[in-house]
Chains A and B, each alone.
Chain A
Amino acid sequence: MDDTRTGADLVVDAFEREGVEIVFGYPGGAIMPLHDALFQHCVRHVLVRHEAAAAFAASAYARSTGRTGVCIATSGPGATNLVTGIADAMLDNVPMVAITGQVRSTLMGTDAFQEVDITGITQVVTKRNVVVREARDIPRALADAFRIAAGTRPGPVLVDIPSDVLKERVALAEIPDAPRTIAPRPRASVVQIEAAVTAIRERARPVIIAGGGVRWAGAAAEFRAFCARTGIPHASTLHGLGSADPRDDSFLGMLGMHGWTHANRAIARADLILALGMRFDDRVTGNPKTFAPNARTIVHADIDAAEFNKIVPAGITLHGDLKESLNALKQRLAGESLPSFTAWRDEIATFGGALPVDAAEDGHLPATDVLDALLRAIPSNAIVTTDVGQHQMWTAQRVRPHDPYSFLTSGGLGSMGFGFPAAIGAQFAHPNRPVFAIVGDGGFQMSMAELATLRRYSVPVKIVLIDNRNLGMVRQWQQLFYGGRYASTSLWDNPDFCEIAAAYGVQAIHVDADTSLDDAVDAFVQCPSAALLHATCYPQENCFPMIPSGTSVDHVVESAFA
């Protein structure tokens, strides 16, 4: 019996030890030994058509399961093509392990073919990165990588392995144990919990904001129970969508730049903000100096103490695992007499509860009509991904996911090209659930080579292409803030997307203003295999409401003619 392993074998062994079932990647010279090892083991490798798609697919795998996603690329351009996806995972707190091949050790530092200092490049967009110098260190490096990626506040870790190290053969007896340790998670103190309860008891106009931390803490059930127990109106950040029970009347929808006006006005009027697992992103706060101006107290709960007082000063901080903090609040509130917030909820109802309609000219199909029809038609267990831009915000305003793992979008980095490969990653994670990628014509052209991935693996992802022949969100800003000078945003020369889909064997359905929209959407949703719904939409439709960057809800724009 062979009692030796190559470095590449040890990487695959680590995958198996960590429960990795699938990795997304693209081969190349320096990473060939790892692909060779994967070829001989049971961990599934999904070949994408661009390394960025591997990172986005791995990210979506993680976002939709809560488990760590894995992507693989070769040295040099393979590694640099991962960087956007890694940065995207860093900003959205996604647990991801990226493995990159490196030129062989003796060539490092010589500007060798396909050599880049990828650990230098990714230092600021990873929780941790490392070059592994000897094969015997691989088990420890990978164990650390998975632990750190998923630990406390999740994020990406990059492990760079020179090709000679991947090929190096070591005796099993020489390999140090890779200890499996779990990082201790901080817990909010009793004093902190008591202060939060006192604030809830003493305020009349509280609002809860749910952020992406609810997902990563696995705390949706606790969050919903807390909302139900207190009756406090609650809004959601983009990444908090799915935290709230979609049937809860106290849910106000998404807040922020393109959030619902009544949610933003509630924040402006609130005397208490309970910010749970969110980081006061500028798309949420606008001008932080005028955010929640009437709030006498802000309670901020987060796993990362560095978030406290970074943007918005918090009077009470709950530093700890959100699930535990919510359980502690629940226990403390048992038997507690709380104020009724009925009058406050009634007041919020007067703040306006409808999305403004940006009417299309006759003969044009509004994109919002397509999205409304789609969201009516999709099954309740569907996973929805979006790309970045107007369609993303229109969807976020409307979608009511049943859990935080079913709406996947690039929030912090706002990476165009995310939506379609993300849907592929989510579909591999959930082969029995319907997955819909809602994309624009700009972002889809950054990733549509992945149609080949759909075909190769018979992935039944449904692509909804909102084609307004523009980079719509930038065009909207040009209309509103740049005097209507439409610099480089017209995509008047788009290709025939239906023909492109057909070339990859993907069924395409076209809709425009002359089509029966509901019939077409129903036919699309029912397709058993991959399909493209190509919607030719009104080019000048804007996404409202909109709070211009750096302002407050007092400056909300609900029409281009305001």
Chain B
Amino acid sequence: MNKAFVMRDGRALARIIHLTHRFGCSYTRIEAHAEERGFFTTIDLAGPAEALRRLDAAVQTIIAYDKETT
């Protein structure tokens, strides 16, 4: 699963990495760089389909909450 998003709060990436471990998934690539709108981030995630589905939901929530701060 590949995710690409912009985060205002860079700590959100740490939260996603933590959740990846918690859900028994793994990341094979993480890239983040600062730009005007925040941190442009791409992350490749791997793991069982069920775990990835829940991780995806959690990532969506984190991104949605991050958007609320802008």
Contacts and interface: CB of A to CB of B under 8 A. Distances in A.
A124 B64 contact: no
A550 to B, nearest CB: 15
Contact of B11 (A123, A152, A183, A306): A123
A277 to B, nearest CB: 16
Nearest to A308: B57
A310 interface: yes
Interface residues of B, number: 15
Interface string A166-209: 00000000000000000100000000000000000000000000
B69 A310 contact: no
Contact of A310 (B9, B18, B57): B57
Contacts of B57: 306-307, 309-310
A123 B14 CA distance: 10
Main secondary structure of the interface of B (DSSP, over half): helix
A123 B15 CA distance: 7
B31 interface: no
Contacts of A309: 53, 57
Interface in A128-187: 128, 144, 147-148, 151-152, 155, 183
A128 B69 contact: yes
Interface string B51-70: 00110011011001100110
Given A306-B58, A307-B57, A310-B57, A127 B15 contact: no
Contacts of A148: 65, 68-69
> Chain A interface: which size bin?
10 to 19
A127 B9 CA distance: 12
B42 to A, nearest CB: 20
A560 interface: no
A500 interface: no
Interface string B15-53: 100100000000000000000000000000000000001
A491 interface: no
Nearest to A123: B15
B33 to A, nearest CB: 22
Contact of A306 (B15, B61, B68, B69): B61
A304 interface: yes
Given A128-B65, A183-B68, A306-B64, 17 more contacts: A123-B11, A123-B15, A124-B15, A127-B65, A127-B68, A128-B68, A144-B69, A147-B68, A152-B68, A155-B65, A304-B64, A306-B60, A306-B61, A307-B57, A309-B53, A309-B57, A310-B54
Interface of B: 9, 11, 14-15, 18, 53-54, 57-58, 60-61, 64-65, 68-69
29 contacts: A123-B15, A124-B15, A127-B65, A127-B68, A128-B9, A128-B65, A128-B68, A128-B69, A144-B69, A147-B68, A148-B65, A148-B68, A148-B69, A151-B68, A152-B64, A152-B68, A304-B64, A305-B60, A305-B64, A306-B57, A306-B58, A306-B60, A306-B61, A306-B64, A307-B57, A309-B53, A310-B53, A310-B54, A310-B57
Please give me the 10 A-B residue pairs with the lowest Cβ-Cβ distance, nearest first.
A306-B60, A310-B57, A306-B61, A306-B57, A127-B65, A148-B68, A151-B68, A183-B68, A128-B69, A123-B15
